[in-house]
Amino acid sequence: MTTHHFDETQLEIKLGQVSWQHRVAFAASCAERLMPAYVAFSKRSGRGDPAALRGMLTQLWDDLAGNRLDDGELRSKIDACMALIPQEDDAPWLMEQAAAEDAGAAVAYALRCRQSGQAKEATWAARRTYEALDHYVINRENIDTTKPGAEERVLGHPLVQRELARQRRDLDEILCVGDTEVQEVAARLRDRAVTEGTNVFGGTS
């Protein structure tokens, strides 16, 4: 059975081979899968604004469908998104806080990818989604990362492997279509990510 790895350098290279629209769609799909984590954090803590963060991501998807955001709107949304990201020193600290931080950051990177078109922003959105699962597994399984084999144990966990497989699948899909079918591919990635987001931290998709 193939073990998937997160290779940031190779991912950025591959994303550099597709259109900026497909990079944004890839980044947005990564962010979409983490949205439920932000909602869960907000419900438990009373902090954050899931509706506002959801609205930003929805507008990004709408942009890919043809309802373009202008530069001023993008700058404003990026600033607003950054303000919604929980910080490590926000108290009281909750278990859900780390994933919520990754979720907000992934949305911000997706917006920044739309602003700049750069592959590195989409890569960073993917990294935050991967890191959210990595952190979750370490804490759920109480893994001592200083012990031999700990890294392999985390990487090999089904939750981490499923997310890396999803990223690989989405990347392969946009590489296959090239610069065509932007709206169709974006809609497909969005619908899939919404469904998968409901069980990223414990389901079977």
Q: What is the distance between the alpha carbons of residues 129 and 6, in angstroms, rounded to a whole number?
A: 11
Q: What is the distance between the alpha carbons of residues 105 and 125, in angstroms, rounded to a whole number?
A: 7
What mean pLDDT is predicted for residues 119-139? 97
User: Is it the case that residue 205 has pLDDT exceeding 70?
Assistant: no
What mean pLDDT is predicted for residues 57-65? 97
Residue 36: CB atoms within 10 Å: 19
What pTM, to 2 d.p., does this model score? Answer: 0.95
For residue 50, whether the previous peptide bond is cis, meaning omega lies within 30 degrees of 0, is no
pLDDT digits (tens, 9 = 90+) for 68-113: 999 999 999 999 999 999 987 776 767 889 999 999 999 999 999 9
Which phi and psi angles does 142 have, rounded to 5°?
55, 50
Q: What is the distance between the alpha carbons of residues 153 and 156, in angstroms, rounded to a whole number?
A: 5
Q: What local confidence, expressed as pLDDT, does residue 203 receive? A: 53
DSSP element (H, E) containing 9: helix 8-15
Give the angle 126-128-133 at the CA atoms, nearest 5°. Answer: 100
Looking at residue 147, what DSSP letter applies?
S
Give the angle 135-139-143 at the CA atoms, nearest 5°. Answer: 100
Q: Taking a C-beta distance cutoff of 8 angstroms, is the pair 50, 11 a contact?
A: no
Q: What local confidence, expressed as pLDDT, does residue 101 receive? A: 96
Percent share of the chain, pLDDT over 70: 97
Count how many residues are written for the chain.
205
Looking at residue 145, what DSSP letter applies?
T
